[in-house]
Amino acid sequence: MLCWQKAGGRFQWPDAFRALSITPVDSLMPSFNKPETLQLLQGGQALFPALVQAFDAADRWIQLETYIFDVHGAGADVADALVRAARRGVTVQVLVDAVGTGLLPAEWREKFSAAGVRWCAYSPVGSGLGFLVPERWRRLHRKLCVVDEQIVFCGGINVLDDFYDPNHGELQAPRFDFAVAVTGPLAAEAAEAMALLWWRVQAGYSARQRHLNEAWEKFKAAGYGGRTDASLLAQPGDSGLAALPGLSRPKAALVLRDNLRNRHSIERAYRRAIGKARQEIIIANAYFLPGGKLRRALMRAARRGVRVTLLLQGKYEYFMQYHAARPVYGALLAAGVEIHEYSTSFLHAKVAVVDGHWATVGSSNLDPLSLLLAREANVVVEDRAFASELSARLREAVMHHGVRIDPAVYGQRPLGRRIQGWMAYALMRLALLLTGQRY
């Protein structure tokens, strides 16, 4: 079953949601606002305790979206907190990607169902031949969580223990990744976007089950009538979290990428910031294969004297993502871009800092799968204190865990490595051709 919960398998609408008409927030241009609090979180070791604290304080609504939900190790702490919240009457909605997240263990399916956790899988591929349909390559890759419309967590961190990988087993060092916790207006904006996607998925599920009338009603409920009446969903008040350290009054914006009106929103945010850079650009990105416009923006910045530092994946994870990035190194190195590879553990971060005041933390890689196909979410921040904290952590990673790519050594890499790189690059380009995308 793709979507399940306590009430007999068919989706039961909370009374407060029935009459809502929602503006599709993910189709609007992002706008900056002043959050009440802002906190940088490094790894699941920082994020998961914050999530558990927020879940235990929730009294109305928890929305969670993630590509991977794994109950191994620390992931079980997050799952248990969701169960506790649902048992005391909080509406708990969990939307996972059907490819990233496999079938939960029977024990956890029973726990979630008994507690009333509402669980749904985004875009199942069906049989093993499902991936032959390019439409199925459009995945839910964003990692968002909103609690009571008061606090939003956004970043690259899946519900997955830092020291465990489903494909590689136990890790000797923690995965390198970031998230951000924001209270204030951004949380309500994220809640609307997540509610809209939840209802769209629910309507699609009802249609597949031939509940056509119900699907039509849900489609209308998730339509384009007007903004959500926030008073129906949550009352303003304390988010339930202790004061976050290092508080400032920054400006922040939620930038969502979808396959409708926001196809290029995240890439444009990067390109605008890079185009305005005058001193320094630091980017940490797990799967790096930028398109021509973004590559040229980085090269122009380096040529006009901006120090451009890239911290990229140095530990082998997937053939295509690992090898396809290597052919683009040459032009970047020739332009003066510094490239460092992180191999202490898996680098999963998708973050950047520009000129010590602009920063972004999110789920979007700088590769075609993220920038052209997947649903992604980034938070962009304009604040020197926040940018300084993030850049300090990135510099520490570059200095102590990065291996700088020497242009001369890169130019003399073995023929076999070159062939692997061009094969992976060609496969990526072929995949884009099949989806009708230009990059």
* Catalytic sites, residue numbers: 141, 143, 148, 348, 350, 355
**Alpha carbon separation from 419 to 326, 376, 385, 407, 423 (Å, rounded):** 10, 31, 44, 18, 6
Q: Print burial letters for 107-140: b (CB count within 10 Å at least 16), e (below 16).
A: ebeebbbebbbbbbbbbebeeeeeeeeeebbbbb
Sequential DSSP letters for 89-143: T-EEEEEEETTTS-PPPHHHHHHHHHHT-EEEEES---STTGGGSGGGG--B--E
Residues 6+ apart with CB under 8 A from 5: 11, 12, 112, 113, 116, 117, 118, 119
Residue 256 · residue 29 · CB < 8 Å: no
Distance CA 72, CA 164 (A): 8
Say if residue 243 is exposed, middle or buried (CB neighbours under 10 Å; 0-12, 13-18, 19+). Answer: exposed
Distance CA 13, CA 384 (A): 43
